[in-house]
């Protein structure tokens, strides 16, 4: 199962597929007793997909069997025992994918010539993805952070490691020429190489960066290049050889401070936008501005969900059981905003109560 989205993966998911491409989404449950019905709900959605394919005259028998084979394979791969908050399955001729995400998603089956990605995009934005680089003289490790969860990333040129043994150390000791570890030229070169790899990563996948290490290691990394300039430095050593949970705990205070600062800046920006008449609030108004590509900064409460019916240029409240309702309109707004280059900030529930739980600062 997949759980981490990056620009390359998103581009691949969004490319056109041979019809029919099936997207199946549902909320899942982490704990009993709610999780007991997840397999039943998943089976019902698969049955719905089968009915849609059977009723579609544009789907040949061979193409139908191919897609259903991959859809059933995706169901087999879905790990409902260790479920997160949402599950998304994709199946198309010759391929399938399974995604477990930390965000509830409305139950739905969509048959089209592309996969439905907005729930993945919104879940990724809400997770506040970040990088952690843990530096030491002998090992530099990269960690992929999403919310409170951190895992080691080994797919972008890290970890980098080297031996600290010096074959000529006895002679250097005799003549008094043994530099400290972080003044040694080999260590400097090691950090310069890591800086180059880090710079390439941040160009491809820009995220907030936290750097952990002993003060001398942090200082040397800053001197060795520019990739880590502007990062949050966490003077905590030993994590380049450490565990993911220890890394998460070490950067938690810095992440909390950044989140508080980001929220304060976003709210201040909304106040300025209100005074300049470049402000939108409420799901209907913000949805229209997102569709027009006018949003510069979108601010939305973390768990805000609303069911609506899309009319002619506006949204109207709808009941959850309404067959014409759109259940993931907030995710759609988030994806639209990100696609047009807007910054998206998730804030604590209740922060935007007077604005209808969602607001935006506009470009014009």
The H or E element spanning position 154 is none
pLDDT tens-digit profile of 47-57?
999 999 999 99
Q: What is the mean pLDDT of residues 285-307?
A: 95
pLDDT tens-digit profile of 209-224?
999 999 999 999 999 9
Q: What is the mean pLDDT of residues 240-268?
A: 97
| Buried-state track 117-130, b at ≥16 Cβ within 10 A, e below 16 | bbbbbbbbbbbbbb
Lowest mean pLDDT among 4-8, 190-194, 266-270: 4-8
Question: Three-state DSSP class for 25?
Answer: strand
Residue 67: closest CA among 84, 54, 82, 79: 54
Q: What is the mean pLDDT of residues 116-125?
A: 95
Tokens of residue 127, six digits: 């997770």
Flag whether pLDDT at 164 surpasses 90.
no
| Residue 90: CA count within 13 A, CB half-sphere | 27
Flag whether pLDDT at 184 surpasses 90.
no
| Buried-state track 21-37, b at ≥16 Cβ within 10 A, e below 16 | bbbbbbbbbeeeeeeee
pLDDT of residue 253: 97
């Amino acid at each position: 199962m997949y759980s981490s989205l990056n620009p390359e993966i998103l581009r691949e998911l969004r490319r056109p597929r041979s019809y029919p491409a099936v997207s199946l989404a549902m909320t899942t449950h982490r704990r009993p007793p709610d999780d007991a019905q997840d397999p039943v709900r998943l089976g019902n959605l698969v049955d719905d997909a089968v009915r849609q394919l059977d009723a579609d005259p544009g789907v040949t028998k061979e193409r139908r069997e191919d897609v259903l084979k991959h859809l059933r394979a995706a169901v087999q791969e879905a790990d409902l025992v260790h479920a997160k908050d949402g599950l998304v399955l994709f199946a198309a001729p010759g391929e399938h994918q399974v995604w477990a995400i930390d965000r509830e998603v409305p139950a739905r089956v969509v048959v089209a010539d592309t996969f439905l990605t907005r729930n993945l995009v919104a879940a990724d934005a809400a997770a506040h993805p970040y990088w952690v680089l843990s530096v030491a003289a002998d090992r530099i490790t990269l960690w992929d952070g999403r919310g409170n969860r951190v895992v080691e990333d080994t797919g972008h040129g890290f970890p980098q490691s080297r031996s600290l043994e010096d074959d000529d150390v006895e002679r250097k000791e005799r003549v008094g020429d043994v530099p400290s570890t972080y003044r040694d030229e080999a260590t400097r070169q090691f950090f310069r190489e890591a800086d180059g790899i880090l710079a390439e990563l941040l160009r491809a996948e820009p995220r907030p960066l936290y750097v952990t290490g002993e003060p001398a290691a942090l200082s040397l990394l800053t001197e060795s290049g520019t990739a880590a300039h502007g990062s949050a430095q966490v003077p905590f050593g030993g994590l380049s050889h450490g565990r993911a949970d220890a890394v998460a705990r070490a950067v938690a205070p810095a992440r909390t401070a950044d989140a508080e600062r980001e929220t304060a800046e976003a709210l201040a920006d909304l106040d300025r936008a209100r005074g300049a008449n470049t402000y939108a609030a409420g799901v209907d108004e913000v949805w229209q501005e997102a569709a027009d590509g006018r949003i510069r900064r979108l601010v939305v409460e973390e768990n805000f969900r609303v069911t609506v019916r899309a009319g002619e240029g506006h949204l109207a409240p709808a009941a959850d059981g309404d067959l014409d309702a759109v259940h993931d309109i907030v995710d759609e707004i988030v994806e639209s905003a990100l696609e047009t280059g807007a910054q998206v900030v998730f804030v604590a529930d209740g922060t935007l109560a007077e604005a209808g739980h969602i607001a935006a600062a506009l470009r014009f």
